[in-house]
Amino acid sequence: MQAYRFALDPTASQERSIRSHAGAARFAYNWALARVKAVMDQRAAECSYGLAEEQLTPPQGWSLPALRKAWNVEKNVVAPWWPQVSKEAFNTGIDGLARGLKNWSDSRNGKRAGRKVGFPRFKTRHRTNPSIRFTTGAIRVEPDRTHVTLPRLGRLKVHESARKLARRLEAGTARIMSATVRREGGRWFVSFTVEVERSVPTAAEHPESVSGVDVGIKHLAVLSTGELIPNPKHLDTAQARLRALGRALSRRQGPDRRTGQRPSKRWQRASGRLSRAHARVANLRRDGLHKLTTKLAREHGTIVVEDLNVAGMLRNKRLARHVADAGFGELRRQLAYKTTWSGGRLHVADRWYPSSKTCSACGAVKTKLSLRERTYHCTICGLVLDRDMNAARNLATLVARPEPAGSGPAAGRGAIQETPLAGREAVKRQPGSARVGQSGTALPQGRAAA
């Protein structure tokens, strides 16, 4: 599954139609949420009266089929205008609520990892990005490759050529599963979710090359090969303009939810300029990360990164903005699937592996190493090396010379994790049998395949 995203240039009438579809999706979402809350509150009140379970109001199902069935029963009463828009608009809102309720329930029951998920809230057109998702109907890229066709919206012009997707569609190696129209940063975008047929890659350009990647703030990435990738710091560069636009916005007459005051035209224009400036920063960051990860996946057969606690790093008030601007999590996410595309491997070192405290020459581990110490000094062998470069070399050593947990440079809680290699079939191992490496030789217990 792969996504293709293109900017749209809709006409005024087409934009009004898109907004009406997005409004219908928001209406269906709020209606379903109100129904679920009403049933939950009614059942809670009846339980407080001491009624038995069989006497309570029947519960409202949270799944997509259950909510859709309830909507189809009531839509002629609550939304007599429903034939004016596509049915996919209402399905978009109901599907979003079903996902939100499931995430909330799984988070409460401990089935969902990460921070707690709150109960879904009602959406307003001022605080929600309009979005509509199409899964059925006429969804295609026109032969001129500059227009796309969507159900009920018709023929829409794309801002750039859609030739990359059109080539795959014409060759029969791709099939469009859905299309999502969404507004971000003052522009409309369409994202196609495509089922792509890819040939199993054999290897990257240099399959024997192993590169440890240590991410940071001063340098976005330090490679074990000695290459330093500078951090562009797009947010810091645009900070002066963002502050000026923010001050200009604060001087305008904005909305007031308490009094019902609507924003002025100048406030809306100033808000649009600020949102476009933020969107530009996000686009520059995304473009730089894509170029970096593509380069790494093509040039190296094996890449080793750290499992960083990015959420914990964002709690540091002094470094939070710089960490968020670097995009550590996005860099690792892109490497995960791009190494699969290129036939390489991505290894993730354990979060507790002391890559910065370990000497890359002799393997000695320091007990303490403050963040302000940017040069690593080994008291055993006398190595003097940049801190980040030392960490990158240790990461590469994990794959070049794998060591069992508790000895050598790989000491720590869980030395390494490996993403599956593209094209490798999963084979179930019987209890007590030895694992078999890629070359066919049996591996000792407790040792990972390099």
The residue among 409, 8, 37 whose CA lies nearest residue 224 is 409
One-letter amino acid for residue 25 of the chain? A
Residue 9 bears catalytic tag: no
User: In terms of DSSP bridges, do strands 442-443 and 140-141 run parallel, antiparallel, or are they unpaired?
Assistant: unpaired
Beta strands per DSSP E along 125-165: 131-134, 140-141, 147-150, 154-157
Q: Please list, residue by residue across 173-196, b when 16 or more beta carbons sit within 10 angstroms of its beta carbon and e when fewer do.
A: ebebeebbbbbbbeebbbbbebee
Helix (H) or strand (E) holding 196: strand 187-196
User: Annotated catalytic, 214?
Assistant: yes
Choose, from 88, 299, 350, 388, the residue flagged as catalytic: 388
C-alpha dihedral, 265 to 270 to 275 to 277, nearest 10°: 150
- How far CA 78 is from CA of 24, 69, 71, 75, in Å, comes to 12, 14, 9, 5
CB 373 within 8 A of CB 387: yes
Tokens 């801002």 locate to 159
Active-site residue (options: 214, 299, 325, 350): 214
What residue has token string 């609550």? Answer: 78
CA pair distance 106, 112, nearest whole angstrom: 5
Cα(54)–Cα(116) distance, integer angstroms:
32
Lookup: tokens for 287: 């473009």
Which of 88, 299, 306, 325 is an active site residue? 306
Here the tokens at position 319 are: 């470094």
Candidates 279, 300, 334; CA nearest to 3 is 334
- Determine the 3-state secondary structure of 219 from DSSP: strand
CA angle 32, 35, 41 (to 5 degrees): 140
* Pair of tokens at residue 172: 């029969």
- Known active-site residue 41: no
Give CA–CA dist 140/105, Å, rounded.
37
- Residue positions annotated with a catalytic role: 214, 306, 388
